[in-house]
Structure 1
Amino acid sequence: MSTDQDQNFEARLLVVDDEPNIRDLLATSLRFAGFEVFTASTGNEAIREATENKPDLVVLDVMLPDMDGFTVTRRLRDRGEQYPILFLTAKDDTKDKVQGLTVGGDDYVTKPFSLEEVVARIRAVLRRTHGASEDTVESALVVGDLSLDEDSHEVYRGDIAIDLSPTEFKLLRYLMLNSGRVVSKTQILDHVWDYDWSGEVGIVESYISYLRRKIDVIGEPMIHTKRGIGYVLRSAESR
């Protein structure tokens, strides 16, 4: 397979799943989305492929025939491999999610999943782990006239400083990482409330309302509701 770095691939991905239908569907869809993709069907093959090809991110099924995805992750981390890992799991189980994060995973998607969700999660993890582009301020996220600095915890809309609580800050950060993409209330709970929140999704509605009172009153609304789906943050000029 070509490893020509001059091609305009968005990122290099390793997809690991022992089910051929899922593996091929993911690989095809991710290539269509602009990624360079190579694949593996076992844990040992995943370790070999990852070590040789140095992906930007690994999409890793938890249940593999020779070893589970957590063991694969531990072995890769023990070798000094630090690329992000997105787990695919059939278990919507908090213990499983926490274990994945503990061994060095960066995110997870529960089966059955939508291909759109997988692509969105991959791009969000890549943004989070690779940082801003060279022509932006380090540690800063920028969408339109809205900026968020992760180091100083400062938020500005234009030249107006916005004071946010820690949870409001985390929520805004997640929306900005996924700007232009609709995220569901469940996804927001998983990412903003650290996977162990056992309350109702109504907490998301409350905090979206808090954010709107601080962000959207300054200019054209940026936080939009997609009824029955979730929320999306867009720059005012892209409406």
Structure 2
Amino acid sequence: MQEKIIIIEDEDSIRGFLRINFQRNDFHVLEAATGEEGLRIIRIEKPALVILDLMLPGMDGYQVCKILRQEFSDIGIIMLTARGQDMDKIMGLEFGADDYMVKPFNPMELILRAKALLRRIKKDEDEENQDIIKNGIFIIEVYSQRVYKNGIELFLTPKEFLLLKLFVENPGKAFSRDELLDLVWGYNFVGDGKIVDVNIRRLRAKIEDTSSSPEYIETVWGIGYRWRKD
């Protein structure tokens, strides 16, 4: 599948040259000659990467970059500049650019940098997706151990968090109390097995609208508990 990019560059010759080179490397290329036109196209087409010239008529590259970062936090931005001063590079990065190249440049180096940036963005997205578990109105952030219901954070103990994560990852599966003890408290746990029921009761009080009539954590009589499967 072709990656969609946009080249925002006011010089027709440079824009056309870049378009040809990116198309030869299997990119789907969009074009704009001004920052305003580029933003309009980006909002419609949602490209993965922006090749952004710094010196544009009207809205300059810094302004475009700032707006892009406010509206599209995960879009890749490579800034092009005819200047070689360090301050221009620093300002570009401060405004949210991921990378920059100074004109004149080798087009193949730009393409390689674009591919590397897209790989990094994809990797970050994959890692973020692995860190987040979504189930209906619940969002579980695994790394930070935070839980949200309808966007409101719930404050769970570590054991409550592990119970919820286990249930959400296995909807419809009935877990016995012994299984929950082994999986959450560990095989070597020594203590009263009723600790499972106590923690389930506390967890229900935090996640259910009415804990006495649980909607999410169901009791399976004679076995244990399960997460309701839609």
TM range (shorter): 0.5 to 0.7
The question of whether the paired residues in 1 share the 8 Å contact of 2:74 and 2:121 is answered with: no
Structure 1 unpaired stretches of 5+: 1-7, 139-239
Moved more, 40-49 or 68-77: 68-77
- Structure 2 match to 1:72: 64
- Structure 2 match to 1:34: 26
- How far the C-alpha of 1:40 sits from its partner, in A, is 0.2
Percent of aligned positions with the same letter in both sequences? 38
- Structure 2 match to 1:127: 119
Residue 19, structure 1, aligned to residue 11, structure 2: yes
Once residues 42 and 31 of structure 2 are traced to their aligned partners in structure 1, the CA distance between those partners, rounded to angstroms, is 10
- Structure 2 match to 1:3: none
Structure 1 ranges of 4+ moved more than 3 A: none
- Structure 2 match to 1:116: 108
What letter corresponds to residue 71 of structure 2 in structure 1? R
- Structure 2 match to 1:101: 93
The question of whether the paired residues in 1 share the 8 Å contact of 2:8 and 2:34 is answered with: yes
Residue 51, structure 1, aligned to residue 43, structure 2: yes
Going from structure 1 to structure 2, the CA distance change for 1:100 and 1:23 (only over 3 Å counts) comes to same
What letter corresponds to residue 17 of structure 2 in structure 1? L
- How far the C-alpha of 1:132 sits from its partner, in A, is 7.2
Going from structure 1 to structure 2, the CA distance change for 1:32 and 1:90 (only over 3 Å counts) comes to same
Count of residues paired in the alignment? 130
Once residues 82 and 133 of structure 1 are traced to their aligned partners in structure 2, the CA distance between those partners, rounded to angstroms, is 9
- How far the C-alpha of 1:42 sits from its partner, in A, is 0.2
CA RMSD of aligned residues (A): 2.3
- How far the C-alpha of 1:17 sits from its partner, in A, is 0.3
Normalising to structure 1: TM-score of the pair? 0.51
DSSP 3-state at the match of 2:63: helix
Normalising to structure 2: TM-score of the pair? 0.53
